[in-house]
Amino acid sequence: MRRKDKMRLGAFFHPTGHHVAAWLHSGSQIDAGTNFKHYAQLAQTAEKGKFDLVFLADAIATRDGNLQALRRWPQYMAYFDPITLLAGLAAVTTHIGLVSTATTSFNEPYNLARRLASLDHISCGRAGWNVVTSSNASEAFNFGRDAHFGHSERYERAEEFVRIVKGLWDSWEDDAFVRDRQTSLYFDPDKLHFLNHKGKHFSVRGPLNVARPPQGYPVMFQASASDTGKELAAQIAEVLFTPLHELEQAQRLYKELKSHAARYGRGSDDVLIMPGLNVIVAESEKDADEKLRHLQSLVHPDVGKELLSTALGGLDLTPYDVDEPLPDHIIERELNNKNSRVAYLLKGKPTIRQMYDSFATGRGQRTVKGRPSSIVDQMEAWFQNYGVDGYLIQPPVLPAGLDEFVDQVIPELQNRGLFRDEYAGRTLRENLGLKRPAGRHSSPIAASA
């Protein structure tokens, strides 16, 4: 039976595009990381295409590693703080959601709750938060630590962090601010609530000095597909963004995550699955292959090795020939680590060049290419067979790749009735079909779907 709901789409922006060599392509904005007009143009193009949201990644450290390679790879070396950037984009857009990554490892719950609540008010209810636990050891050095938190501790902190942030967003009831000049009453003190949280990792009194966000809570995103990450997602995520390469794998995760969410009293419609999707639009499959080959030709071997080294947990690849596979003992060791992204990269015992070419294109996410009709065929098959609820579109080059998607793929999706012609509402929750959570201290008010 054909699904009655519409596909959800986000536009995931790395400054010059998702391909590691995008900055060398003539279709990219070379100074994108610190060019606000570039981001404003991207957001307005995505809004013209009726995308649900703009999605920004983040890192709070420059890349560490081989500077001879990194000098050829600008990502994360100079770019805007995403929440600050999204506040600016709120002023030049009207409907599109604004989602920022922010780590629970190196933020404080109060500060982040305040910034995200402010963004939700500034944008009239369009903010979202991608909850991550930093894995980059370099970030620890900027926050008074000699080493990162351990894996289990990161997720334990994250769960407590999110509970605090939600509690702070409920500091004020929805109707707490009376603002009545006749009675000289600005707010009702009975509708102000102190959090008084004292936990293992944080102590936060509250209350927040920002009114309750228009959406109740900004929409919560989560990215990890590890067992620990999936459990956290089942508790808190409203949108899950994670790599998916095979339809059967996607269907298993779709069913698993929605059933896990039910254990926490959540319905299947309360969690949306939106993996990343790299899209290369062309007039034919041959032309798409040529576009991809051109991008791959721009990848310097030093950058390819550095990119792959990061994906393999810091493995030193300098001794190895890029046109040979990794030695068998290293492949076996990496497969034993049970990292799904690494297992996918190592499938079929590829050469190092083949591995970094694959990763340079997809950043661990699935790639589709060809004519708009062929691309939509593949998107539709996963959607109709309950592998996904939508996608975060990752253009390989920006702005060129986004322009091609909006001009050529969006009309095909709309013609098939898979995607909206107009926005359903003003808030991100309304457009994603997610409920507005009632405040924990309030008598239920409109918790709109």
CATH label of the domain that carries residue 52: 3.20.20.30
**Residue range(s) defining the domain that contains residue 111:** 8-284+364-432
CA distance 365 to 362: 5
Please check whether residue 359 lies inside any domain of the structure.
Answer: no
Taking phi over 0 as left and psi of -120 to 50 as alpha, with beta for the rest, 12 belongs to: beta
In which band, very low, low, confident or very high, does the pLDDT at 340 lie, cut at 50, 70 and 90?
low
Write the pLDDT tens digit of every residue in 96-112.
Answer: 999 999 999 999 999 99
Please check whether residue 302 lies inside any domain of the structure.
Answer: no
Write the pLDDT tens digit of every residue in 362-408.
Answer: 667 899 999 999 999 999 999 999 999 999 999 999 999 999 999 99
Contact criterion met (CB below 8 Å) for 362 and 278: yes
Please check whether residue 349 lies inside any domain of the structure.
Answer: no
What mean pLDDT comes out for the span 249-259? 92
Please check whether residue 186 lies inside any domain of the structure.
Answer: yes
CA distance 39 to 25: 18
CA distance 350 to 264: 42
In which band, very low, low, confident or very high, does the pLDDT at 228 lie, cut at 50, 70 and 90?
confident
Looking at the structure of the chain, the number of domains it has is 1
Nearest to 365 by CA among 335, 386, 396: 396
Please check whether residue 344 lies inside any domain of the structure.
Answer: no
Please check whether residue 95 lies inside any domain of the structure.
Answer: yes
What's the pLDDT score for residue 72?
87
In which band, very low, low, confident or very high, does the pLDDT at 193 lie, cut at 50, 70 and 90?
very high
pLDDT at 134 over 90: no
Write the pLDDT tens digit of every residue in 145-169.
Answer: 888 888 788 889 999 999 999 999 9
Write the pLDDT tens digit of every residue in 270-312.
Answer: 999 999 999 999 999 999 999 999 999 999 999 889 888 877 8
What's the pLDDT score for residue 338?
54
What's the pLDDT score for residue 447?
42
pLDDT at 175 over 70: yes
Please check whether residue 358 lies inside any domain of the structure.
Answer: no
What mean pLDDT comes out for the span 238-260? 92
What's the pLDDT score for residue 69?
83
Look up residue 335 and give its two tokens: 């497969």
Write the pLDDT tens digit of every residue in 36-64.
Answer: 999 999 999 999 999 999 999 998 888 88
In which band, very low, low, confident or very high, does the pLDDT at 341 lie, cut at 50, 70 and 90?
low
What's the pLDDT score for residue 331?
81
What mean pLDDT comes out for the span 195-207? 97
**Higher-confidence position of 143 and 206:** 206
Please check whether residue 19 lies inside any domain of the structure.
Answer: yes
Identify the weakest region by mean pLDDT among 30-34, 185-189, 325-329.
325-329
